């Protein structure tokens, strides 16, 4: 059996980092973990190819070679998925689709005839049998949440690791919280399910054996959903680092209550964690209560950021405007909060009603959904898919001005300096790769000579070298990332 796995092309978004990938000789931020994992569940004697369209071109010969094409993706990949399916139909190759975009909205893809909805582990034996027999059903739906301690190590051999900025690994699925706008609990449930410590260490070790030396992204939506299991994993990673001498770094996502356990944070840093993404959403308590982000509403969020930074973690943040309770001053308040806290990488988006979420259900009942499609990019000004309480034009104009202001050079470097001032350099030092060094040299020309904002850039570089030289590598990575974020902001 010949299987072609295809991952769609990702458009330019905040997280795509496309404007800096070329500087560091990379083609994509990360590979398709879902397809690589499914590939490991297929029979050993099947021939498998994986085409990541962010790295390689999909050609007709590959489609004709395959008995089946498997495609996966997220909402952001809708347009590319439709193009892939059309090409497969023209060449009479059947398509099997699975992944987040189909789990909540497969009805939007009438041209696809076979779906795997939900988590695939328990469905794979029947799917494989039907593929062999040529009797595929239209829909395979997971009846319950699978035991992820049986998930195999992804097929890293199917990709060229050198093309990617980070490598993804999954430790857990599910989140104990109930944010109204979030579709994670729709797909994975409230009870966090974890892999065993041995599983995750084996996955890290597999990447190490394949030659990976840089950042690993633990893609859990809440790394501390099961803190006891996460603590055991951190201890095991520390032991693995000591045994192998690896200088890999890690980043992940967590809820803001991570700041309540500084000993756990220190353990993360000792294990090599450098960054953590936290969904702050809003400085407005009323808006946090509205979206059921009660955990955030009951604390001083700036203080929480500073506590995390003081342990040696860079805090990346998610923010949203467009809640019903957002007043006209929300744009000013968001800017002031982000600058004061030193959240350098601040992803500010417009509220969107994702299919299947409680927000989508509520707005449908209120008759407030619009004809616009949710594109999965909440920086897309044309994809606001509901009628907000705030005047629509005022919301979009205020949002655009906020993002542009956040990523103006002076504002960006000011909060980068705030972060460096709050952070204490701890934990193992990461290697400086040749690609990172080359990227920094290229960025000197772009940021220090060619682009507007060069004066702010040189002030930031000089201040870091003179006052915080140990943090210079972090500062240069932030300056390069800022180039991408600025171009995205200016495109709004």
CATH code of 185's domain: 3.80.30.20
Same domain (yes/no): 213, 95: no
Band the pLDDT of 439: cuts 50, 70, 90.
Answer: confident
Count of domains observed in the chain: 3
Q: Is residue 40 in some structural domain?
A: yes
Domain end call among 109, 141, 173: 141
Annotate 410-427 with b (16+ C-beta within 10 A) or e (fewer). Answer: ebbbbbbbbbbebbeeeb
Ranges of beta strands (E only) in 323-468 are 346-350
Q: For residue 217, which of 271, 269, 276 has the smallest C-alpha distance?
A: 276
Band the pLDDT of 105: cuts 50, 70, 90.
Answer: confident
Q: For residue 342, which of 428, 433, 242, 471 has the smallest C-alpha distance?
A: 471
Q: Is residue 486 in some structural domain?
A: yes
Q: Is residue 427 in some structural domain?
A: no
Which CATH number do you get for residue 87?
A: 3.40.50.280
Same domain (yes/no): 192, 131: no
Domain end call among 85, 115, 141: 141
Q: For residue 253, which of 302, 220, 229 has the smallest C-alpha distance?
A: 220
Domain end call among 87, 113, 141: 141
Query: Taking 80 as the threshold, does the pLDDT of residue 437 lie above it?
Result: no
Instruction: Identify whether the C-beta of residue 68 lies closer than 8 Å to the C-beta of residue 3.
Output: yes
Give me the chain's average pLDDT, please: 95
Instruction: Identify whether the C-beta of residue 1 lies closer than 8 Å to the C-beta of residue 53.
Output: no
pTM comes to: 0.95
Which tens digit of pLDDT belongs to each residue from 234-270? 999 999 999 999 999 999 999 999 999 999 999 999 9
The helix (H) or strand (E) run that includes residue 281 is strand 273-281
Same domain (yes/no): 117, 94: yes
Q: Is residue 428 in some structural domain?
A: no
Q: Is residue 41 in some structural domain?
A: yes
Q: Give the structural domain span for 34.
A: 2-141
Q: Is residue 429 in some structural domain?
A: no
- Residue 463: count of CB within 10 angstroms of its CB: 16
Q: Is 476 exposed, middle or buried (0-12, 13-18, 19+ CB in 10 A)?
A: buried
Band the pLDDT of 149: cuts 50, 70, 90.
Answer: very high
């Amino acid at each position: 059996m010949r299987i072609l796995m295809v991952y769609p092309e990702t458009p330019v978004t905040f997280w795509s980092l496309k404007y800096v990938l070329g500087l560091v000789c990379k083609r994509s931020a990360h590979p398709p973990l879902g397809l690589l994992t499914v590939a490991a569940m297929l029979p050993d004697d099947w021939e498998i190819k994986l085409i990541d369209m962010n790295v390689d071109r999909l050609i007709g010969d590959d489609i004709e070679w395959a008995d089946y094409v498997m495609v996966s993706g997220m909402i952001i990949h809708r347009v590319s998925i439709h193009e892939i399916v059309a090409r497969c139909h023209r060449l009479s190759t059947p398509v099997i689709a699975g992944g987040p975009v189909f789990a909540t909205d497969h009805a939007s893809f009438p041209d696809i005839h076979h779906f795997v909805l939900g988590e695939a582990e328990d469905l794979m034996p029947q799917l494989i049998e039907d593929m062999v027999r040529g009797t595929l059903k239209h829909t395979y739906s997971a009846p319950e949440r699978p035991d992820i301690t049986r998930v195999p190590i992804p097929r890293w051999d199917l990709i060229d690791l050198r093309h990617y900025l980070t490598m993804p690994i999954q430790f857990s699925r599910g989140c104990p919280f109930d944010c109204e706008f979030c579709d994670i609990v729709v797909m994975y449930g409230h009870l966090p399910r974890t892999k065993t410590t041995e599983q995750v260490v084996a996955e890290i070790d597999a990447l190490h054996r394949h030659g990976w030396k840089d950042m690993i992204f633990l893609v859990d939506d809440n790394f501390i959903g099961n803190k006891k299991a996460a603590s055991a994993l951190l201890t095991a990673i520390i032991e693995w680092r000591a045994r192998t001498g690896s200088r890999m770094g890690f980043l992940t996502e967590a809820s803001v209550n991570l700041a309540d356990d500084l000993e756990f944070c220190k353990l993360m840093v000792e294990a090599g964690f450098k960054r953590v993404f936290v969904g702050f959403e809003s400085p407005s308590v009323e808006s946090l209560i509205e979206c059921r982000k009660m955990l955030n509403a009951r604390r001083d969020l700036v203080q929480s950021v500073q506590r995390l930074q003081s342990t040696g973690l860079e805090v990346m943040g998610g923010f949203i405007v467009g809640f019903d309770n957002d007043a006209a001053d929300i744009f000013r308040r968001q800017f002031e909060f982000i600058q004061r806290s030193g959240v350098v990488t601040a992803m500010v988006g417009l509220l969107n009603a994702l299919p299947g979420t409680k927000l989508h259900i509520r707005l449908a009942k209120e008759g407030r959904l619009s004809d616009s499609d949710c594109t999965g990019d909440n920086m897309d000004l044309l994809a606001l898919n509901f009628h907000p309480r705030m005047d629509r034009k005022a919301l979009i104009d205020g949002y655009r001005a906020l993002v542009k202001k956040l990523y103006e050079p002076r504002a960006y470097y000011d909060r980068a300096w705030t972060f460096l001032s709050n952070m204490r350099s701890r934990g193992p030092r990461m290697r400086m790769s040749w690609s990172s060094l080359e990227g920094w040299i290229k960025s000197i020309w772009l940021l220090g000579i060619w682009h507007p904002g060069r004066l702010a850039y040189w002030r930031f570089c000089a201040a870091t070298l003179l006052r915080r030289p140990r943090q210079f590598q972090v500062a240069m990575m932030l300056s390069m990332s800022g180039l991408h974020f600025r171009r995205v902001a200016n495109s709004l």
